[in-house]
Chains A and B, each alone.
Chain A
Amino acid sequence: MLSYILKRLLLTVPTLSLVAVAVFLLIRLIPGDPALVLLGESADAASLAAMRADLGLDHPLPVQFLSWLQHALHGDLGRSIVSGEPVAALILQRFGLTAAVVLVAVTAATVIAASAGLIAAWRRNSAVDLAVVGAATVVLAIPSFWLGMVLLLLFGLKLGWLPFVGYIPFSESAVQAMLFLVMPVMTLTITESGVLTRMMRSSSIDVLQLDYVTHARAKGLSERAVLTRHVFPNAFAPTLTLVGLTLGHLLGGIAVIETVFTLPGLGRLMVDSVLARDYPVVQGCLLFTAVVYVVVNLVVDLCYPLFDPRVTAR
C-alpha cells in the first residue's frame, strides 16, 4: 500500500512542476504589474522603478522563479504584495472557509444523491423516478450563481431571515457565521446533487440487473436489506469517484459563489489577486489548489477498495 502511495505521489511531481512554471509565466504575461496597482494613476516613472526594485520584479524571470521555488519548498510562499501578509497563512485562513462550505455541501449532496438515486433506480420508470430525474435535470440546467442570487434575493433581501453581508468569522459568533454559510452551502448542495444523483441512479440501475441482487432476494431478504447491503455499496463506488473529482475542483475555490455571497474564500482570493497582480498570492494559491486536487484524488482512490474490493491497491 505504501509503495503505491509513493508511486502515485512521485507521478504527481511532473504535473505539479508543470503547473508551477505555467502559473509563474502566465501571471507575468498579463499586462500591468503590482507596482503600478499600488502607486495608482499619479505614479511617476521614478517611483514606479523604485517600487519594482523593492518588490524584486527587476531580476530576470528565471532568477525570480528559482528563488520563489526554493522558498516554496521550505513552506515559505512569500508575502502578499497588496497586504504584506505571509501568503501561506493567508491561503490557509481563506481555504478554511472554502473547505467548510465545500465539505458540508458535498457531503449533503452525496447523501441526497445516494438516497434519491437509489430509490429512483429501484422504482424505475415510476412517478418517483420521473420526479427525481426531472429535478436532477432541472437543477443541472440552473446556473449556480443565478441560484445563489435568487436565494440571496429571497432569504436575504426580501425575507431577511439570513444575513448575507460582512462575513462574521466563527471567532465572532459561531451562530452568525453558521447562518451566514447556510445560503452558500444550500446553493452548492443543490447544484452538486444534480449530477451526483444522475450518476448514482444509472449505476444503481446497472447493479439492480445483476444476478447477486436477485440472489439476495432469492434468500428471502427484504427489499430494504437488499438495497442497503447489496445494491448501495456496489452502486456507490463510481459515484464516489465523481465525488472525488468534484471535491478536487470545488476545493480549488468556488470563486463565483463566493462573489455572489461576498465570502472571503480561496476562490475570491485568487480572483482578487489576479486582478491586483499580486504575484506571490496567485502562485501560492494555484499551486495549493493543484496539490489539493491531487491529494483529494489520491484519497478517493485509496478509499475506493472500501466499496469495490476487486480494486485492491496495486
Chain B
Amino acid sequence: MIAAVATPLLRFAGVRIEAVGRARAGSPPLLDDLSFDVAPGEFVAVVGESGSGKTLAARSILNLLPEGVRRVAGRIELEGRDLTQLSGPDIRKVRGAQIGMVFQEPMVSLNPAMTIGRQLAEGLQLHRQWSSEEIRRQSVTMLERVRITNPLRCLSAYPHEFSGGMRQRIMLAAVLLLKPKLLIADEPTTALDTLSQREVLELLVELAHDDGAAVLLITHDLGLVARYTERAIVLEKGRLMEAGSTRQILTDPRNPYTQRLVASLPRCDAAGTAAPASAPIVVEVRNACIEYPGRPGLWGAGTPTQVVHGVDLDVRSGEIVAIVGASGSGKTTLGRAILDLKPLAAGSIRFDGIDLAQMTAAQRKQFRRAAQLVFQDPYSSLNPRMRVRDIVAATLRHAHLDAADRAARVEAVLAQVGLASFGDRFPHQMSGGQRQRVAIARAVVSRPRLVVADEPVSALDMTIQQQVLALFRKLQAQYGFACLFITHDLAVVRQIAARVVVMSGGVVVEEGPVPSVFSDPRHKYTRELLAATPALEAAALMG
C-alpha cells in the first residue's frame, strides 16, 4: 500500500497576485501561478532578489497584502483548508495561533509606545484563555529560551531600550509563545550585523525544531539558504524558476537564473590583486587616535569618548586594503580621518608623504582631488535635485580643465561604469545598483590616488553586489589608485581585498594578507567573524 501521502502543512496552488488601480492595470502580475508545498516541520526557503515577489507570497498566506495589491487567483491551503475562502474573523483565528510571522526591520517590528510585556501578552489573551499570572509566567520562560537577560525587567521595558538583535529575539518569542504550526520569517536578519544575524537564526531554527513548527524563510542571501534550510524555492520577477533540495540547488542548479544567483557566491580561491612591495605608499597612518566631543552640557563641553586609539596602517597605490569590524569598531571614523574629514586627537596621517595636519591651502586643494570617498547608502549619497552628469562633474569643478575636456572625461567615466546613456537622469529614476555606479564614477573621474569606499555594496542585492565589486576591481586595475575598503562582510573582503585589517573596539586586532588571515585566523574575534559568515560556508560546501 502506498504510504498515504501526508497532506502538506501548507500548499500554494496557482497563486496569482496583481496590482490594483487605474494606473497600473495591464502591468505584469506581481506573482504568477506559484505552486509549492511545505511539509509539517520542514524548513523551506523562498529565495529571490528585490522585486521577485517573495515577500508578497509570504504575506498573502495570512492575507496581509499591502494596500493596492490583491490575490486574484489560486488557493493557499493550510492542512487542506483553503485560507483564501476564510472570512475576516476566521482568518484572524488562524493568524498567530496556527501561523506566526517575523519581520525584517527590528526598529519598527515592535510597537514603540507599548511595553514588551503587553505586546507578548496580547496574542495570548486573544488565543489562550490564560490568567494574566499564567501569561506572565509563560512570557518569562519564553524570554529565557530566547536568551534575554533579566526577563522580568524586560517585560516592563520599551522596545527602544534594546539592540536590533535583542528585538528580533523578542519578536521571535512573541510569535513562538503561541506554538504556531508554521513560522514565516520575512528576511528576519537582513538589517542585523553578522554576529547577531547568526545568533537570531540559530535561535529560530532551534526553537522551531523543539516545537515541531515548519519554517518558511524569505531571503535574498544564498548563504543563509545553504546553512539553515532543507529545500529552496527560487523566484524571479514573480515567477517560480526552480524548486528542490538546498544541496541540489547549490551544487547543480538547472535554471539559468539560479545558476547566475549561485555564481554570485564568493569563490574560496578568489583573491584581490596584491600590490608589488615596491609600489609607493599613498597613505601612512601612525598611532592614530580619534575622539568624539562629549554632549555639550549647559556649562562647557562634556567628556570626549575615545573611538579610535593607536592605529597604524599603510596603503600602497594599486592595492585594496579592507578594514573589517562590527558597527562601532571605529572603521568608518578612521576612514573619515584619512580623508581629513575628522581631526586626529593624537598620532599622524601622511598622504604622499605630506602630513594632513600641516597641509597648506594649495596642498589641501590638490589633496581634495587626489582622495575620494564612496558612500554606503545610494539613496542618501546623491543630491536628488541634480542630474547624474552634474553629480559626476562636481568633483572636477576645481580641476583646471576647460568645459569640453571636463564633459568628455565625465562621459568616458560614465561609459566605464556602464551608465553611458544615463547622463540626463535624476537619482530617483535609477535603481540602487545604478546609483552606486554613479557614486563610484564620481569618485574616480578626477583620477584620485586614493579611494576610500565605506560599505559601498552592503545595501545591494547579491548579484548586483557582484557586478559592482567587479567594476571596482576593473577601475582600480586601470587607474592604479590605492583603495581602502571598509565593510562588515567577510564574504566581500574575500572577493575584493588583498590585505585585511580586522578592527574591534577602535583597535586593530589582526592584520595580514587575505588568504593567510582567512585560513588560520589568530585572534578569537576574527575566528568568530569568519564562523558567522554563512556565504563562506556555502562556498566551502560547493567545493
Query: Are A and B in contact, CB atoms below 8 Å, in the complex?
Result: yes
User: Footprint of B on A, CB under 8 Å?
Assistant: 7, 124-125, 209-212, 214-222, 229-230, 233-234, 237, 307-310
Is the beta-carbon distance between B92 and A310 smaller than 8 angstroms?
A: no
- In the bound complex, CA of A7 to CA of B296 (Å): 14
- Chain A proximity mask over B174-200: 1 for CB below 8 Å, otherwise 0: 110010000000000000000000000
Given A209-B66, A221-B126, 5 other A-B contacts at CB below 8 A? A211-B104, A212-B112, A218-B64, A219-B174, A229-B122
Is the beta-carbon distance between A220 and B123 smaller than 8 angstroms?
A: yes
Q: Tell yes or no: B298 within 8 A of A by CB.
A: yes
* CB closest chain-B residue, reference A234: B113
Q: Tell yes or no: B93 within 8 A of A by CB.
A: yes
Is the beta-carbon distance between A215 and B171 smaller than 8 angstroms?
A: yes
* CB closest chain-A residue, reference B89: A222
- In the bound complex, CA of A217 to CA of B59 (Å): 11
Q: Tell yes or no: B114 within 8 A of A by CB.
A: yes
B518 partner residues in chain A, CB cutoff 8 A: none
* CB closest chain-A residue, reference B160: A310
Is the beta-carbon distance between B127 and A220 smaller than 8 angstroms?
A: yes
Is the beta-carbon distance between B126 and A215 smaller than 8 angstroms?
A: no
* With contact pairs A7-B298, A219-B123, A220-B123 given, residues A214 and B64 touching in the complex (Cβ less than 8 Å): yes
Q: Tell yes or no: B101 within 8 A of A by CB.
A: yes
Q: List 24 A-B contacts (CB under 8 A).
A: A7-B298, A124-B67, A209-B66, A212-B112, A214-B101, A217-B95, A218-B62, A218-B95, A218-B99, A219-B122, A219-B126, A219-B178, A220-B92, A220-B126, A221-B122, A221-B126, A229-B114, A233-B111, A233-B113, A233-B114, A234-B113, A308-B112, A309-B160, A310-B158
* With contact pairs A217-B64, A218-B100 given, residues A234 and B112 touching in the complex (Cβ less than 8 Å): yes
Is the beta-carbon distance between A211 and B126 smaller than 8 angstroms?
A: no
What's the tally of chain B residues with a CB closer than 8 Å to chain A?
A: 35
- In the bound complex, CA of A308 to CA of B111 (Å): 10
User: Footprint of A on B, CB under 8 Å?
Assistant: 59, 62, 64, 66-67, 92-97, 99-101, 103-105, 108-114, 122-123, 126-127, 158, 160, 171, 174-175, 178, 298
- In the bound complex, CA of A275 to CA of B62 (Å): 67
> Separation in Å of the A208 CB from the closest CB of chain B?
8
B111 partner residues in chain A, CB cutoff 8 A: 212, 216, 229-230, 233-234
* CB closest chain-A residue, reference B93: A220
A217 partner residues in chain B, CB cutoff 8 A: 62, 64, 95
> Separation in Å of the B176 CB from the closest CB of chain A?
12
- In the bound complex, CA of A233 to CA of B96 (Å): 23
Is the beta-carbon distance between A214 and B112 smaller than 8 angstroms?
A: no
- In the bound complex, CA of A15 to CA of B126 (Å): 52
* CB closest chain-A residue, reference B63: A217
A219 partner residues in chain B, CB cutoff 8 A: 95-96, 122-123, 126, 174, 178
Is the beta-carbon distance between B95 and A215 smaller than 8 angstroms?
A: no
* CB closest chain-A residue, reference B66: A209
B101 partner residues in chain A, CB cutoff 8 A: 214-215, 218
> Separation in Å of the A46 CB from the closest CB of chain B?
56
